[in-house]
């Protein structure tokens, strides 16, 4: 147990259904699980977590292979690849149960949002309310992949290439790659949105070859296993039972589809949502707008 960079939070190392997870705990009230995206860590929640902790018991892990959480070993024989959203969602479910939370709210951004909605589909009894920031379902994203989307989100195909091609290319200049990625996805086109300690944590994990590999495995799962699950769910007409509040950024990826709410409506019958003035990293670029969207939503639940 050590201090967290998030004010009022404490970091714990927790073993659950796999290698060690680094988890930041803080606040009181109904449980709320926050899941970060790529290429980030728990630090992405630094600007909104203290306000959420005033009303909720917040659980903020580094996803497996990110931040200070251990990277799982590759397992080609596993029913679900260790970096697939199903496998990670199962670990998040076990984490919350181990903390005494059988039913809870979830808020996810980017890759964490994909884990979040897979958790809601696979364990509907556990998810009370679901917040989604800046993604559309994985299968829908691939179907929306036209030339303009491909140029903006080239990393979907680059990171999914067979090992070790992307790992070697990123490893040649890991901090340069992370800075380029972060900068190019913000509305301002620079790094001003990121707190210095958060930016340091994003750069630090990029210097670790094991974490670079885990991130690539995350996207390889997205291109194969995760996409196949989404397509099967869509064909079967499965939907998310929980109320869903979806926030997308005016300068982000879902906005480029032309109808992000429409794409989610087929998956989430109890859907609300709206846009915020930001690039892809809404909770860091426009924290007040994100809090204004989600505090009422989760408080109502």
Digit-coded pLDDT (tens) for 88-113: 999 999 999 999 999 999 999 999 99
**CA-atom Rg of the chain in angstroms:** 17
- E strands present in the chain: 2-3, 10-14, 21-26, 31-35, 57-61, 104-109, 127-133, 244-249, 271-276
Which contacts qualify for 228-234: CB closer than 8 Å, 24 or more apart? 229/85, 229/86, 229/118, 230/137, 230/138, 230/139, 230/140, 231/139, 233/121, 234/137, 234/139, 234/266, 234/267
Mean pLDDT calculated for residue range 190-214: 97
Closest CA to 62 of 38, 81, 84: 38
Instruction: Give the span between the Cα atoms of 122 and 241, in whole angstroms.
Output: 11
User: Whole-structure pTM over 0.85, yes or no?
Assistant: yes
- What pLDDT is recorded for position 36? 98
Give the SS3 label for residue 38. Answer: coil
Nearest 5°: phi and psi at 210? -65, -35
Catalytic residue among 62, 68, 110, 218: 110
Has residue 163 got a pLDDT over 80? Answer: yes
For residue range 123-159, what is the model confidence (pLDDT) as tens digits?
Answer: 999 999 999 999 999 999 999 888 888 888 999 999 9
State what percent of residues in the chain have pLDDT above 70.
100
Give the SS3 label for residue 158. Answer: helix
Nearest 5°: phi and psi at 21? -110, 140
Compute the Cα dihedral for 246, 205, 101, 118 and give only its sign: positive
Catalytic residue among 24, 105, 245, 280: 280
> Token digits for 220?
């390889």
36 is catalytic: no
> Token digits for 226?
């995760």
For residue range 172-192, what is the model confidence (pLDDT) as tens digits?
Answer: 999 999 999 999 999 999 999
Strand 244-249, strand 127-133: pairing: parallel
Q: The domain containing residue 61 runs over which residues? A: 2-300
Kindly report the average pLDDT of the chain as a whole number: 96
Q: What is the domain-level CATH number for residue 159?
A: 3.40.50.1820
Instruction: Give the count of beta carbons closer than 10 Å to the beta carbon of residue 12.
Output: 16
Closest CA to 131 of 73, 68, 76, 52: 52
- Contact (CB, 8 A) for 255 and 152: no
110 is catalytic: yes
Domain count, the chain: 1
Task: Using alpha carbons only, give the angle 29, 135, 211 rounded to the nearest 5 degrees.
Answer: 85
> Token digits for 286?
């426009």
Has residue 301 got a pLDDT over 90? Answer: no
């Amino acid at each position: 147990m050590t201090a967290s960079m998030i004010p009022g939070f404490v970091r714990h190392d927790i073993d659950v259904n796999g290698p060690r997870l680094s988890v930041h705990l803080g606040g009181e009230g109904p449980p709320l699980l926050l899941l970060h995206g790529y290429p980030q860590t728990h630090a992405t929640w630094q600007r909104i977590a203290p306000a959420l902790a005033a009303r909720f018991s917040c659980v903020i892990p580094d996803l497996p292979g990110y931040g200070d959480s251990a990277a799982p070993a590759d397992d080609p024989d596993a029913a679900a690849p260790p970096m697939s959203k199903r496998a990670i969602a199962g670990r998040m479910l076990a984490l919350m149960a181990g903390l005494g939370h059988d039913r809870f709210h979830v808020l996810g951004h980017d890759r964490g949002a994909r884990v979040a909605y897979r958790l809601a589909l696979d364990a509907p009894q556990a998810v009370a309310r679901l917040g989604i920031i800046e993604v559309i379902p994985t299968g829908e994203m691939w179907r929306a992949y036209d030339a303009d989307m491909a140029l903006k989100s080239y990393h979907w195909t680059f990171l999914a290439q067979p090992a070790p091609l992307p790992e070697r290319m990123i490893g040649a200049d890991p901090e340069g790659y992370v800075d380029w990625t972060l900068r190019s996805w913000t509305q301002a086109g620079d790094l001003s949105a990121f707190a210095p300690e958060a930016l340091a944590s994003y750069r630090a994990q990029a210097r670790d070859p094991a974490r670079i590999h885990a991130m690539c495995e995350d996207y390889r799962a997205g291109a194969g296993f995760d996409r196949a699950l989404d397509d099967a769910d869509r064909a079967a007409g499965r939907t998310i039972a929980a109320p869903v509040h979806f926030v997308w950024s005016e300068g982000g990826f879902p906005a480029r589809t032309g109808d992000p709410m429409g794409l989610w409506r087929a998956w989430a019958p109890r859907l609300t949502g709206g846009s915020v003035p930001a690039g892809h990293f809404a909770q860091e670029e426009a924290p007040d707008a994100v809090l204004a969207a989600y505090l009422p939503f989760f408080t109502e639940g």
